[in-house]
Amino acid sequence: MNNISNSEGRSDKAGPYSAYYNRPQAADDAWICRIGPGTAAGEYFRRYWHPIILSSEIKDVPVAIRILGEDLVVFRDRSGDIGLLHRACIHRGASLEFGIPQEHGILCCYHGWHFAVDGTVLETPAEPPTSQIKNNFCQGAYPVHEKHGLVFAYMGPPELKPELPHYDTDVHPAPNEVVPFKVEYPCNWLQIVENACDPIHNAYLHAIVAGQQFSKAFAQPPALDFIETPLGMSIPATRKVGDSVFIRAGEIILPNIAQFTGAENEADKEVFGLTSFVTRWVTPIDDTNAYYIGFMHLNKFTNPKGFIKPEFFGVGKMGLIGQTDDRPYLERQKEPGDFDAVASQGPIANRRTEHLGTTDRGVVQFRRMLTKAIKAVEAGETPAIPAPSNGKMIRTYCHELTFPLPQSRVEVDREVLSQFGRKVFDILAETVELEPSEREKVSKERVRSLVATHFGA
């Protein structure tokens, strides 16, 4: 029986029926997973805006919600303003999920204390007129912002509140219909984000092993690259499919955003899109639950035939097989999807049991970037990534392309493919200051020329 070392440096005994010698180690504290108040990762998360609920979920009564390990209540008052308050009333602790929305703010049902959406105490009706209570205390409140049918919250120090980011994929290509969705996962946020850092699973989980969930083009394992950007990481997966080169490049935006193109490209005709099919956040509910929440982008590139309908998406609906637990368990066992692969790792994945390989470079790189950013916040600094927007539309790097190869090029090895993917990214980086439509136009022509030179005989 041979000894081998895993990614943590411990020795395993390799051989048949060796489970006795290779029992999983106890999980460590997974400090980068913990996001409650006062935790290192929690303080880092609280420097950013996160979507917490669909606007359509807020009706005429408050909604109890848990975000970043805090018990909150979200409501819309009769003037249309949204409030996000600590759930327990500061008077006697009654839950404001039973509060009564007013023209401005909300009344606690217990004693009628009246709170504005910013937490200011407007009235304490049972107290004498001379009482100063309302001037001395506030109900805990967080700022919110509505965008494209989602409500975003900022839960960090108010003096450090950044602008809500505006990404180019919100509007490009025009017209772009933005459709919100929200799905709950029963596991820690980090393993959901790491799934996006792992593009090789698109070949195996979605095309080779578990059923043909993506197009047949994805059954060809790609050459991978993981490229740092001002926002996080670009992840081009470059394939030779038939007589074409095909790149699907997802994108990670720290701390918890990912963008992807679609999964239907058959790599049988020329396409070029500097756009996204989905922009999603992983918003932690607490340490062992999270929302997979964001926007679908329906436009001429992502939905050219109009087959994808807005009603496919919403609360608990993603319109894509395997993204939720809505199918019967036996069916999910026979054809599992992302939900099953990610949630089955447990409430918090035990990373001490991993044996990482070369295709896991994106996961390793993301963990390093995340750790660096968390430690920057601990030191009182602003993380370098993601770079602040300074009020400008943020240019992103999610892209997809297919171009026919020169007829003379029959065989293409992985190194050549990987180099091509990197050169395409360089073009996108060099054109980053252009307006989205112009950037796409210029980049497309430069990539077309690159195909001829890079793959020429």
**Would you place residue 456 in the very low, low, confident or very high pLDDT band (cuts 50, 70, 90)?**
confident
Structure tokens at 451: 């195909």
DSSP 327: S
User: At which of 160, 178, 196 does a domain end?
Assistant: 160
* Residue 453 CA from chain centroid, whole number: 36
Average pLDDT, the chain: 93
Report the alpha-carbon distance of residue 314 to residue 295 in Å, rounded: 10
Domain closes at, from 115, 133, 160:
160
pLDDT computed for residue 410 by the predictor: 67
- 136 residue type, one letter: N
Task: Return the bridge partners of 13, or none.
Answer: 3
For residue 308, name the pLDDT band (cuts at 50, 70, 90): very high
Burial class (CB in 10 A: 0-12, 13-18, 19+), 189: buried
Do residues 283 and 290 lie in contact, with contact meaning Cβ atoms separated by under 8 Å?
yes
**pLDDT for 412-451, tens place per residue?**
899 999 999 999 999 999 999 999 999 999 999 999 999 9
**The predicted structure's pLDDT at residue 7:** 46
Report pLDDT for 1: 46
Shared domain for 201 and 300, answered yes or no, is yes
* Percent of the chain's residues with pLDDT above 90: 89
142-147-151-152 Cα dihedral, nearest 10 degrees: -50
| Cα(24)–Cα(162) distance, integer angstroms | 42
pLDDT in tens, 362-388: 999 999 999 999 999 999 999 999 998
3 or 258, which is more confident? 258
Mean pLDDT of 202-214: 93
Are 387 and 259 contained in the same domain?
A: yes
Whole-model pTM over 0.95? no
Task: Please check whether residues 345 and 393 belong to one and the same domain.
Answer: yes
Together in a domain, 137 and 212: no
The confidence score (pLDDT) of residue 11 equals 52
Query: Which range has the worst mean pLDDT, 50-54, 61-65, 293-297, 352-356?
Result: 352-356
Helix (H) or strand (E) holding 90: none
Residue 294 pLDDT greater than 60, yes or no: yes
pLDDT of 211-269, one tens digit each? Answer: 899 999 999 999 999 999 999 999 999 999 999 999 999 999 999 999 999 999 999 99
Under 8 Å between Cβ of 237 and 219: no
Q: Which two tokens stand for residue 94?
A: 């009654």
Average pLDDT, integer, range 111-133: 96
Q: Which CATH number covers residue 269?
A: 3.90.380.10
- Residue 457's pLDDT is 59
According to DSSP, residue 394 is labeled B
Q: Do 218 and 253 share a structural domain? A: yes
Segment 121-150 mean pLDDT: 95
Cis, bond preceding 255 (omega within 30 deg of 0):
yes
Tell me the mean pLDDT in the region 184-190: 98
pLDDT exceeds cutoff 50 at 8: no
Range of the domain at 73: 50-160
**pLDDT of 300 higher than 50:** yes
Domain with residue 114: its CATH number is 2.102.10.10
Question: With bands split at pLDDT 50, 70 and 90, how would you rate the model's confidence at 340?
Answer: very high
Give long-range contacts, CB 8 A cutoff, 24+ apart: 449-456.
Answer: 450/420, 450/423, 450/424, 451/245, 451/403, 451/404, 451/405, 451/406, 451/420, 452/406, 454/416, 454/419, 454/420, 454/423, 455/245, 455/405, 455/406, 455/409, 455/412, 455/416, 455/420, 456/406, 456/408, 456/409
Model confidence at 9: pLDDT above 60: no
Structure tokens at 123: 């009235």
Total count of domains within the chain: 2
Same domain, residue pair 89 and 179: no
pLDDT at 22: 72
Q: Omega of the bond prior to 175 within 30 degrees of 0, cis?
A: yes
Asked if residue 29 has pLDDT above 90, the reply is no
